[in-house]
Amino acid sequence: MSQRHRTFTMNTEHGVVPDGREPSLINLYRRLIPDWTALAHKGGAGRVAVVGGCLEYTGAPYFAAMAATYTGADLAYVFCEQSAAIPIKAHAADLIVIPTMHASEARIPATNQREGPVDRVLAEQADAPPPPTSLPAETDDAYAVHIFGQWLPRLHAVAFGPGLGRDPRVLGAVQHMLAMAVEQRVPIIIDADALYLLGVAGRAGDDTRLSRALAARRQRESAHGGAATTAAAPLVLTPNAVEGNRLLHSFQSAAVERLLEEVLTAADLVVEKGTLDRLHFCATDARYPSPLLCSERGSPRRCGGQGDVLCGALLTSMAWAHRCLDESVRRHPHRYLAAAHGACRLTRIAARMAFAERYRATVASDVLAQVGPAFRTLECEPATPPTRVVQAGTFADASDEQR
Ligand SMILES: NC(=O)C1=CN([C@@H]2O[C@H](COP(=O)(O)OP(=O)(O)OC[C@H]3O[C@@H](n4cnc5c(N)ncnc54)[C@H](O)[C@@H]3O)[C@@H](O)[C@H]2O)[C@@H](O)CC1
Ligand SMILES: Nc1ncnc2c1ncn2[C@@H]1O[C@H](COP(=O)(O)OP(=O)(O)OP(=O)(O)O)[C@@H](O)[C@H]1O
């Protein structure tokens, strides 16, 4: 990674956020967890959805939706491109998989071709339209938008992106679905290919449905003096180092903080994944300056799919933070920060446990399997929030800090 990404430095002036802040983030996270007695009906602990999955990537939406379920959501839906539905259903009977988006014609495998599977994949890749650099205002996949619109009012949080791919027709439909979720005021996670979508269709100058929905949201939320209202639902962006720099480039932002000020709102968060996770947000409280670090020890294994597990943990945690029945928690200015910090810790504890058991053979399925035990650790251990503060800057290379 080039030097320009390595601009974060530990700032000892800010120092370590001491334990015992009232309430500490982990204590606040624990107050978000639905009470067993409150779970009188299926769906009470969350109905969440992942919009993602295409011909190439069926693991990513599976990991994200299952991680949401293992974190505690009662029902997890996957809205995927048609060809991904059967493989995802085959991965997990626990998921409700709804074939939704249609890929461009060139990407649909021809069933009457005489070539073998490898020839066919290569032919598909050669025929595949290039990823779009901009998207039209309208979609020709009205079916996908309609289906998603029918389910949306029942959902408590939606994650866009895991395994979505870059097919222009799919991205065209998904920008409408994302705009609908923004208008619905439901917590949204924007991950993986949906971060790419945001970069090509979410800028102020883009003549797209998504850009207009984000502008209207900013206007609506800024009417409250810049502070997040209790009704505001967060947008949570989860870039890795490469996605983060692509995002800053698309929005011509010099730093994540500029992105938050100019594109997002006071309710929103950017979770920058890496050696340490950095949680960026609009800080109004000197006790929790942005970015806040999650330095929970994770795993040295960098297998694919770990970001999807984090996406699912965030999905359930954000749904809980948004719907929390405890009025004092619902009004707490840091409830979304606590939800994100808890999800980051949960994922890293699960990765650490998986690595301890599987070492070099650790894969995302092993991390997923540890989400349940990791949750118990998070829920029951004494509160020791490992939070530190660094200077604001651009996205960092994952290799730029030592724990
Ligand atoms: N089993 C599956 O179905 C999986 C599917 N995935 C999906 O695959 C699609 C493409 O994801 P990509 O992540 O490849 O995205 P991109 O196509 O944007 O590629 C990003 C590249 O950056 C590299 N990279 C990531 N973090 C880095 C770091 N800290 N420093 C240097 N390089 C870094 C990656 O190796 C990758 O080659 C997405 O839809 C994603 O959700 C992944 O989630 C992995 C698992
Ligand atoms: N160098 C690292 N050391 C320890 N943990 C890391 C490191 N980099 C990332 N992580 C952790 O791994 C998880 C996934 O982050 P990663 O950067 O791999 O996401 P991603 O590239 O989007 O994943 P995916 O393969 O699912 O697309 C996060 O919980 C993050 O905290």
Summarised one tens digit per residue, pLDDT across range 107-148 is 655 554 455 555 565 666 666 667 778 777 777 899 999 999
φ, ψ (nearest 5 deg) of residue 206 = -75, 130
Chain center to CA of 204:
22
Is 77 within the bounds of a domain? yes
pLDDT at 120: 60
Is 24 within the bounds of a domain? no
Is 25 within the bounds of a domain? no
pLDDT at 277: 96
- Whole-number Å distance, alpha carbon 307 to ligand 1 midpoint, is 9
49 Cβ inside 6 Å of ligand 1: no
pLDDT at 288: 82
pLDDT at 43: 87
Is 303 part of any known ligand binding site? yes
pLDDT at 263: 84
Q: Which ligand is nearest to the CA of 60?
A: 1
Low-confidence ranges of the chain (pLDDT < 70): 1-23, 38-40, 106-129, 223-230, 382-403
pLDDT at 393: 38
For the record, the structure tokens of 162 come out as 């895991």
Q: Which ligand is nearest to the CA of 238?
A: 2
User: What's the whole-number average pLDDT of the chain?
Assistant: 84
pLDDT at 224: 64
Is 245 part of any known ligand binding site? yes
pLDDT at 284: 74
Q: Which of 57, 273, 276 to mutate to test the pocket of ligand 1 (most atoms within 8 A of CB)?
A: 57
- Whole-number Å distance, alpha carbon 229 to ligand 1 midpoint, is 34
Residues of the domain holding 73: 44-114+130-380
Is 399 within the bounds of a domain? no
Is 143 within the bounds of a domain? yes
**Protein residue closest via CA to atom 17 of ligand 1:** 193
How many structural domains is the chain composed of? 1
Q: How far apart are CA 35 and CA 45, in angstroms?
A: 9
**Protein residue closest via CA to atom 1 of ligand 1:** 59
pLDDT at 23: 46
For the record, the structure tokens of 356 come out as 């301890």
Is 398 within the bounds of a domain? no
Position in ligand 1 atom list of the atom nearest CA 165: 39
Relative orientation angle of helices 371-380 and 335-358, to the nearest 10 degrees: 130
Q: Which of 6, 166, 306 to mutate to test the pocket of ligand 2 (most atoms within 8 A of CB)?
A: 306
Q: What is the CATH number of the domain that holds 216?
A: 3.40.1190.20
Is 122 within the bounds of a domain? no
Is 403 part of any known ligand binding site? no
161 Cβ inside 6 Å of ligand 2: no
- Whole-number Å distance, alpha carbon 310 to ligand 2 midpoint, is 8
Is 216 within the bounds of a domain? yes
For the record, the structure tokens of 153 come out as 């009012």
